């Protein structure tokens, strides 16, 4: 986390002159100098860093260059949208991915498996934005049943504005979440399949067969349990990737989330937003890694209990 | 010398790899498609019917012509024209060249950086290995798109706008390359660790061969297979990454549009009915990525002795 | 009378370039209460037969012909039959206990699952039955260990768990496929005794598949010898091993290193070089043979090596002491043996002598110079030239991407940078002929050679710099017994003609007896005993040595009364 904070901070300080970006052309030199002092830009670097951390933990990230509003406000406004989108996509990707992966892993050469694999390969080759455009074209332009942009109506729950509780909100989330999840889903399918195929060739599976244990039990109790272990790590990383890819989906569907904000920030070199986004993302990733580690601990007894070797 | 060349060809033909290549229709088809695309992009100046970037050849009268097989289309513009009167087929060919150049260069950069770091980390071990692997792990948790965006954003902040447009391609190659190197590093290191423990490496050490020679002559040739597989898949990812960034508006400058840029431009016209402006570049892009992935998949299955 | 009857069994593997006939018209039977040994070298088809009985042959293998009767039931008539028999009437155990158990389930869970598959017992009854089984196979504290995971058991204990799993539903036939190959000698004898006891107690019909003749001699009642899928000879063990009738059996038995005497050379019937009795060493012309005096070539003083558990572990209590204060000397021209089980430190010592590891403390002297303290690369290179090594695994000791020519040329080019190409070519050809390989071998790649041939290439490479000390780390442990005999003969000849000093590392006592002049016995990094070979075998003074000698499987045991 600290590393990321430092990177954010350096972005802030060194990339471009903040003053130039913040004020207009007409401001005089004297006013600029005054502004520098007020903002504490003349203080030594370590002091600035500490101040940055203090502010960050309080949720203050300064003011957006471009939009002239406090960054923290912007983020809290947009956060729920992104999180809801990621949540739904993650569920879709994981459930479908694992189910299909197991199926194709067990029935290696069946016709259905090959079709699923072919489609999954296609899925990996389709960039997210192409999928989005395709879906929009199909469902919005031609069929006209689903909205092509925006979030629909939201219900204000105080600090969180959710789109789950309205019909239009639910309708609106369908296309973007499918788009977002497709890429990850195909990846998970291939991973789970590879794992299952490898496990089904191990000695302990052979030994279980030799003891007369039914094929079903072997596949689901023995193979799957072992196969899911690496999938957990990947799932963790996946959620992170989903958050990042949401940038693209949000752009295509004009979904008012953090990703959309970030892209604008990059285009206009709006440093405060960029660094704040970084910190947030890093925080989310660290949390995810942490949870994954804990899950691992519970699932794999080899990590929990020391062996005798 | 003649004999050696002949026997080399014979060896390739006789090898297991070529056998499964012949047997696999997907491999043959995808390589064929790729060859055609590469060829066209390379010789685009000769092959493309028009040069879409020459303003003098454009005429607004031709704008929004639909593809030749639908009503209103002409033979002149096989796939129709865009809002400026540019021939779709030509723009696609030029665009794919950009996409390919950026994709290839980025992956090459990634590969060299990643393999060097991964190999040395695996071979020397110790603190150096821990350090490199930590960086790899940290960076792997950051999705490559984000990484590329970051690097690009920083670059824009540092370089002035005009210079940035000129150097955009290099920045892009660097950004995408930086985002993909950990994959290569990780695979190289894992493969190096396996090879390092094999006795022939010990034998060479005992003989007195220097570390550098061992890494180059013994380890590197033996870890090439998985690297090749990752490289092919990475190429597809790099091309998609570049198109995504261009689509988002932070990729190549509009003066040298890639397939992603074309899709973005075309997106605006989707609702007004001129579907071909976005459709054809998109199909082309998907075809490119799909062929590369097919090839990569076939490679992975052939080169992996375990999954039989 | 016979419980298991196999008639004309044939198994084929149809591959791309060829069809492999893994088993051809195999016919034999096994009765209850007897142990039938199935012995053969690699590729003999013994494991294939075992797998065929329970119909678990890996793709692309198929049973092409034949029938198998268990308790007078034709098990192939209906494919469903075999599925009900697995675990219930037939139990099978495999070679590696580590990979045979599901790491995520406790031992108890795996037992209960198997029991409930075949017997209709409720959970509590199944559990008590399982615990009794664990006790029966010799697992102490069975009630608690019931809830342990596989990785919490040591190798021998794990194999006992595997046996309990195979027997938990009261099968009448047990197939044991190389059950002790992965275990140390002391554990091996325990497991074999366990199998013998269970056979008697439960009146089992047992097939014991192995390549180890000593194990066959000590454990089996009858034995069937297989070669390349064909059953060559079958009969009571005493007869087949003591008075073999088939040519192959005769050569197999004579290749086994005797445990009770020292012989000069192995009597190998199928020799490559029919002309001479001894190898024609062409490289002798180039070899500067040193005159032997009675000097110590190698002196090892107080050698210690410890490994850290992790890279950044702070406390020294996490150290694993692999080698603990070892001292010994090797005279020039002699053959010195390092013997021990796994974890004894013998390989680590070897690796320190060839400078692959640096010792934690202590000195190694080569020709009176302390070589582990040399820092100058050029001086080190001089010494590297004189010490070379051959390894255990013939498949990983050669770079599969390099031609044999380049593999052997590498050390020559490094140490003799001025050598001309045609001189190099001649030298390499001489080296190849000295290890009984043809000139054409130079142009090929390692995967075109068999295990024994690869070891010869390794030897050629090791000799290329004309070393004075040759370290052999289990050089024949991965080879078939007949090939082993050839390679050991080769090493003996080379040593004699070139005045080589050999450090021979092995866990196989009979082999060491044949190859070495003096032997050191190691255990857990400590030196137990050093003595002349004959003295060690006839009059061991250390208790561990005595135990090892007692437990080692001897083919001569067929002559002892049981």
Chain A residues close to C100, C-beta within 8 Å: 203-204, 207
User: Are the beta carbons of C410 and B204 separated by less than 8 Å?
Assistant: yes
Chain B residues close to C393, C-beta within 8 Å: 199
Q: What is the pLDDT of residue C281?
A: 67
Whether C514 and C339 have beta carbons less than 8 Å apart is answered as no
Shortest Cα distance, chain B CAs vs residue C350, angstroms: 12
Question: pLDDT higher for B295 or C337?
Answer: C337
Nearest CA in chain C to A308: C152
Q: What is the pLDDT of residue C398?
A: 93
User: Are the beta carbons of B306 and A198 separated by less than 8 Å?
Assistant: yes
Complete DSSP assignment for A124-135: HHS-HHHHHHHH
Chain B residues close to A267, C-beta within 8 Å: 249-250
User: Which of B199, B221, B225, B303 would best serve as a mutation to test chain C binding (most C beta carbons within 10 A)?
Assistant: B199
A177 touches chain B (CB under 8 A): no
Shortest Cα distance, chain B CAs vs residue A156, angstroms: 30
Shortest Cα distance, chain C CAs vs residue B147, angstroms: 31
Sheet holding C501-506, edge to edge: C387-390, C469-473, C501-506, C335-339, C518-523, C526-532
The whole-angstrom separation of Cα A273 and Cα A67 is 10
Element (H, E) at C74: strand C73-74
Whether C28 and C6 have beta carbons less than 8 Å apart is answered as yes
The whole-angstrom separation of Cα B61 and Cα A152 is 40
Q: What is the pLDDT of residue A56?
A: 55
User: Are the beta carbons of A247 and B153 separated by less than 8 Å?
Assistant: no
Q: What is the pTM of this model?
A: 0.80
Nearest CA in chain A to B153: A266
Q: What is the pLDDT of residue B10?
A: 57
Shortest Cα distance, chain A CAs vs residue B3, angstroms: 42
Cα three-residue angle A14-A17-A18, rounded to 5 degrees: 100
User: Which of A12, A15, A104, A124 would best serve as a mutation to test chain B binding (most B beta carbons within 10 A)?
Assistant: A124
User: Are the beta carbons of A308 and C154 separated by less than 8 Å?
Assistant: yes
Complete DSSP assignment for C471-525: EEESTTTTS-HHHHHHHHHHHHHHHHHHT-EEEEEES-HHHHHHH-SEEEEEETT
C110 touches chain B (CB under 8 A): no
User: Are the beta carbons of A308 and C88 separated by less than 8 Å?
Assistant: no
Q: What is the pLDDT of residue A182?
A: 86
Nearest CA in chain A to B305: A198
User: Are the beta carbons of A211 and C87 separated by less than 8 Å?
Assistant: yes
- Report residue C300 as tokens: 């090892």
Chain C residues close to B127, C-beta within 8 Å: 311
Q: Determine the average pLDDT of the residues in B198-220.
A: 91
A125 touches chain B (CB under 8 A): yes
Pairing, β C320-331 against β C296-307:
antiparallel
Sheet holding C230-236, edge to edge: C90-93, C173-177, C205-210, C35-40, C222-227, C230-236
3 state DSSP class of C370: strand
Q: Is the peptide bond before C390 cis (omega within 30 degrees of 0)?
A: no
Nearest CA in chain A to C85: A212
User: Are the beta carbons of B208 and C414 separated by less than 8 Å?
Assistant: yes
Name the residue among A206, A301, A309 with its Cβ closest to that of C104. A301
Percent over 90 (pLDDT), chain B: 15
Name the residue among C86, C88, C99 with its Cβ closest to that of A203. C99
Nearest CA in chain B to A13: B157
User: Which of C54, C103, C145 would best serve as a mutation to test chain A binding (most A beta carbons within 10 A)?
Assistant: C103
Q: Residue A32 above 70 pLDDT? A: no
Run means of pLDDT, 10 residues per run, chain C, 562 residues: 84 81 89 91 86 83 86 82 83 87 87 87 88 88 87 87 89 91 85 91 92 89 91 91 88 84 68 48 71 81 79 52 89 91 88 89 88 85 91 91 92 87 89 88 89 92 92 90 88 87 91 91 91 90 89 80 50
- Report residue A165 as tokens: 């509780």
Q: How many CB pairs under 8 A join A and C?
A: 83
Q: Determine the average pLDDT of the residues in A153-161.
A: 62
- Report residue C292 as tokens: 């032997």
Q: What is the pLDDT of residue B295?
A: 83
C466 touches chain B (CB under 8 A): no
User: Are the beta carbons of B282 and A133 separated by less than 8 Å?
Assistant: yes
Q: What is the pLDDT of residue B64?
A: 73
Shortest Cα distance, chain B CAs vs residue A253, angstroms: 12
The whole-angstrom separation of Cα A71 and Cα A65 is 9
Q: What is the pLDDT of residue A44?
A: 56
The whole-angstrom separation of Cα C173 and Cα C75 is 14
Chain A residues close to C83, C-beta within 8 Å: 212
Q: Residue A5 above 70 pLDDT? A: no
Q: What is the pLDDT of residue C319?
A: 73
Complete DSSP assignment for chain A: -HHHHHHHHHHHHHSS-HHHHHS-TT--HHHHHHHHHHHTTTS-HHHHHHHHHHHHHHT---B-TTT-SBHHHHHHHHHHHHHHHHHHHHHHHHHHHHHHHHHHHHSTT-HHHHHHHHHHHHHHHS-HHHHHHHHIIIIIIIS--S--SS----EE-SS-EESTTSHHHHHHHHHHHHHHHHHHHHHHHHHHHHHHHHHTTSHHHHHHHHTT--HHHIIIIIIIHHHHHHHHHHHHHHHHHHHHHHHHHHHHHT--SHHHHHHHHHHTT-HHHHHHHHHHHHHHHHHHHHHHHHHHHHH-HHHHS----
Q: How confident is the model at residue A20 (pLDDT cuts 50, 70, 90)?
A: very low
Rg (CA), chain C: 26
Whether C181 and C95 have beta carbons less than 8 Å apart is answered as yes
Q: Which chains touch B (3 or more CB pairs under 8 A)?
A: A, C
Q: Residue A239 above 50 pLDDT? A: yes
Q: What is the pLDDT of residue C553?
A: 83
User: Which of C396, C397, C447, C458 would best serve as a mutation to test chain B binding (most B beta carbons within 10 A)?
Assistant: C396
Question: pLDDT higher for A57 or C161?
Answer: C161
Cross-strand bridge partners of residue C207: C36, C175
Strands (E) across C15-50 are located at 19-31, 35-40
Q: Residue B142 above 80 pLDDT? A: no
B271 touches chain A (CB under 8 A): yes
Shortest Cα distance, chain A CAs vs residue C340, angstroms: 18
User: Which of A131, A196, A266, A285 would best serve as a mutation to test chain B binding (most B beta carbons within 10 A)?
Assistant: A266
The whole-angstrom separation of Cα C206 and Cα C37 is 8
Chain B residues close to A278, C-beta within 8 Å: 150
Chain A residues close to C101, C-beta within 8 Å: 204, 207
B265 touches chain A (CB under 8 A): no
Q: Determine the average pLDDT of the residues in B243-261.
A: 81
Nearest CA in chain B to C466: B207
Q: What is the pLDDT of residue B201?
A: 93
pLDDT tens per residue across span A85-129: 888 888 888 888 888 888 888 877 778 888 888 888 888 888 888
Name the residue among A124, A266, A274 with its Cβ closest to that of B250. A266
Chain B residues close to C404, C-beta within 8 Å: none
Whether A224 and A198 have beta carbons less than 8 Å apart is answered as no
DSSP B81: B
C397 touches chain B (CB under 8 A): yes
Name the residue among B198, B200, B207 with its Cβ closest to that of C384. B207
Nearest CA in chain C to A306: C152
Q: What is the pLDDT of residue A306?
A: 60
User: Are the beta carbons of B293 and A121 separated by less than 8 Å?
Assistant: yes
Nearest CA in chain A to C155: A309
User: Are the beta carbons of B208 and C398 separated by less than 8 Å?
Assistant: no
């Amino acid at each position: 986390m600290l590393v990321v904070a430092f990177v954010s901070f350096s972005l802030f300080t060194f990339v471009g002159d903040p003053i130039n970006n913040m004020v207009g052309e007409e401001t005089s030199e004297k006013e600029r100098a005054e502004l520098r002092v007020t903002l504490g830009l003349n203080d030594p670097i370590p002091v600035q860093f500490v101040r940055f951390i203090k502010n960050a933990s309080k949720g203050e990230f300064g003011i957006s260059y471009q939009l002239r509003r406090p960054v923290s406000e912007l983020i809290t406004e947009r956060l729920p949208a992104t999180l809801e989108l990621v949540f739904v996509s993650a569920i879709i990707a994981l459930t479908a991915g694992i189910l299909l992966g197991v199926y194709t892993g067990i029935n290696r050469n069946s016709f259905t498996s090959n079709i699923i694999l072919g489609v999954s390969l296609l899925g990996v080759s389709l960039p997210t934005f192409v999928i989005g455009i395709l879906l929009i074209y199909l469902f919005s332009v031609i069929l006209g049943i689903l909205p092509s942009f925006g979030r629909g109506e939201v219900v204000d729950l105080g600090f969180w504005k959710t789109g789950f509780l309205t019909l239009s909100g639910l309708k609106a989330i369908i296309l973007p979440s499918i788009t977002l999840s497709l890429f990850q889903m195909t990846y998970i399918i291939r991973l789970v399949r590879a794992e299952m195929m490898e496990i089904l060739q191990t000695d302990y599976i052979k030994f279980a067969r030799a003891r007369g244990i039914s094929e079903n039990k072997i596949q689901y109790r023995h193979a799957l349990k072992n196969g899911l272990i690496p999938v957990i790590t990947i799932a963790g990383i996946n959620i992170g990737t989903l958050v990042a890819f949401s940038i693209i989906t949000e752009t295509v569907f004009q979904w008012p989330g953090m990703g959309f904000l970030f892209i604008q920030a990059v285009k206009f070199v709006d440093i405060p937003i960029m660094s704040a986004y970084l910190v947030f993302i890093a925080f989310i990733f660290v949390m995810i890694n942490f949870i994954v580690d804990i899950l691992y601990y519970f699932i794999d007894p080899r990590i929990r209990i020391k062996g005798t070797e | 010398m003649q004999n050696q060349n002949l026997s080399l060809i014979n060896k390739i033909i006789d090898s297991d790899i070529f056998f499964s290549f012949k047997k696999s229709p997907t491999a043959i088809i995808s390589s064929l498609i790729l060859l055609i695309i590469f060829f066209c992009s390379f010789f685009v100046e000769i092959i493309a019917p028009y040069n879409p970037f020459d303003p003098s050849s454009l005429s607004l009268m031709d704008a929004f012509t639909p593809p030749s097989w639908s009503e209103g289309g002409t033979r002149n513009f096989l796939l129709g024209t865009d809002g400026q009167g540019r021939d779709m087929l030509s723009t696609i060919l030029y665009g794919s060249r950009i996409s390919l150049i950026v994709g290839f260069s980025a992956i090459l950069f990634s590969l060299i950086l990643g393999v060097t770091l991964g190999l040395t980390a695996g071979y020397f071990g110790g603190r150096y290995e821990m350090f490199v692997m930590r960086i790899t792990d940290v960076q792997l948790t950051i999705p490559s798109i984000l990484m590329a965006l970051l690097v690009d954003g920083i670059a824009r902040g540092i370089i002035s706008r005009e210079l940035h447009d000129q150097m955009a391609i290099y920045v892009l190659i660097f950004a995408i390359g930086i985002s993909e190197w950990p994959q290569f590093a990780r695979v190289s290191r894992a493969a190096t660790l396996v090879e390092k423990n094999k006795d022939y490496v010990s034998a060479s050490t005992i003989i007195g061969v220097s570390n550098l020679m061992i890494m180059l002559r013994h380890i590197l040739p033996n870890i090439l297979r998985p690297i090749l597989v990752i490289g092919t898949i990475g190429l597809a990812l790099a091309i998609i990454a570049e198109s995504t960034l261009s689509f988002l508006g932070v990729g190549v400058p509009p003066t040298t549009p890639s397939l992603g840029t074309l899709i973005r431009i075309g997106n605006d016209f989707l609702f007004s009915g001129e579907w071909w402006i976005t459709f054809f570049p998109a199909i082309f892009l998907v075809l490119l990525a799909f062929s590369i992935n097919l090839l990569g998949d076939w490679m992975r299955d052939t080169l992996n002795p375990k999954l039989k | 009378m016979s419980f298991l009857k196999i008639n004309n069994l044939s198994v084929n593997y149809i591959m791309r370039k060829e069809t492999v006939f893994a088993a051809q018209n195999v016919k034999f039977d096994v009765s209850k209460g007897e142990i039938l040994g199935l012995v053969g070298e690699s590729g003999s088809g013994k494991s294939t037969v075992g797998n065929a009985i329970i119909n678990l042959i890996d793709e692309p293998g198929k049973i092409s012909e034949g029938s198998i009767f268990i308790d007078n039931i034709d098990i192939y008539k209906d494919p469903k039959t075999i599925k009900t028999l697995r675990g219930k009437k037939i139990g099978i155990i495999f070679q590696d206990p580590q990979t045979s158990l599901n790491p995520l389930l406790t031992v108890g869970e795996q037992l209960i699952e198997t029991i409930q598959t075949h017997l209709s017992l409720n959970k509590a009854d199944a559990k008590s039955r399982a615990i009794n089984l664990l006790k029966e196979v010799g697992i102490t504290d069975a009630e608690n260990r019931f809830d342990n995971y596989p990785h919490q058991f040591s190798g021998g204990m794990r194999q006992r768990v595997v046996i309990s799993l195979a027997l938990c539903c009261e099968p009448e036939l047990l197939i044991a496929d190389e059950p002790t190959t992965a275990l140390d000698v002391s554990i091996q004898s325990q497991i074999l005794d366990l199998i013998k006891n269970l056979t008697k107690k439960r009146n089992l019909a047992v097939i014991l598949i192995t390549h180890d003749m000593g194990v066959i001699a000590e454990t089996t009642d009858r034995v069937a010898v297989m070669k390349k899928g064909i059953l060559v000879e079958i009969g009571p063990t005493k007869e087949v091993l003591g008075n073999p009738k088939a040519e192959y059996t005769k050569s197999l038995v004579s290749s086994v290193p005797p445990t009770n005497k020292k012989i000069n050379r192995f009597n190998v019937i199928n020799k490559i070089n029919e002309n001479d009795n001894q190898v024609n060493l062409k490289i002798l012309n180039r070899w500067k043979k040193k005159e032997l005096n009675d000097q110590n070539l190698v002196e090892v003083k107080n050698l210690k090596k410890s490994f850290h558990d992790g890279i950044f572990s702070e406390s020294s209590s996490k150290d694993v002491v692999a080698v603990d204060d070892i001292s010994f000397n090797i005279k020039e021209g002699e053959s010195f043996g390092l013997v021990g089980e796994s974890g004894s430190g013998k390989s680590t010592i070897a690796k320190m002598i060839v400078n692959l590891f640096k010792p934690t403390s202590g000195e190694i002297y080569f020709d009176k110079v302390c070589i582990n303290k040399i820092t100058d690369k050029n001086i080190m290179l001089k010494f590297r030239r004189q010490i070379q090594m051959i390894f255990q695994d013939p498949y990983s000791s050669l770079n599969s991407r390099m031609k044999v020519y380049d593999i052997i040329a590498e050390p020559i080019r490094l140490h003799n940078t001025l050598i001309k190409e045609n001189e190099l070519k001649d030298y390499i050809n001489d080296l190849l002929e000295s290890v009984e390989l043809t000139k054409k071998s130079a142009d090929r790649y390692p995967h075109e050679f068999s295990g024994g041939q690869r070891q010869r290439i390794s030897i050629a490479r090791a000799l290329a710099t004309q070393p004075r000390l040759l370290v052999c780390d289990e050089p024949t442990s991965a080879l078939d017994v007949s090939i082993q005999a050839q390679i050991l003969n080769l090493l003996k000849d080379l040593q004699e003609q070139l005045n080589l000093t050999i450090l021979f590392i092995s866990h196989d006592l009979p082999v060491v007896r044949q190859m070495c002049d003096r032997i050191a016995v190691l255990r857990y990094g400590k030196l137990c005993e050093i003595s002349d070979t004959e003295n060690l075998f006839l009059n061991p003074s250390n208790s561990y040595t005595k135990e090892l000698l007692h437990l080692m499987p001897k083919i001569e045991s067929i002559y002892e009364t049981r």
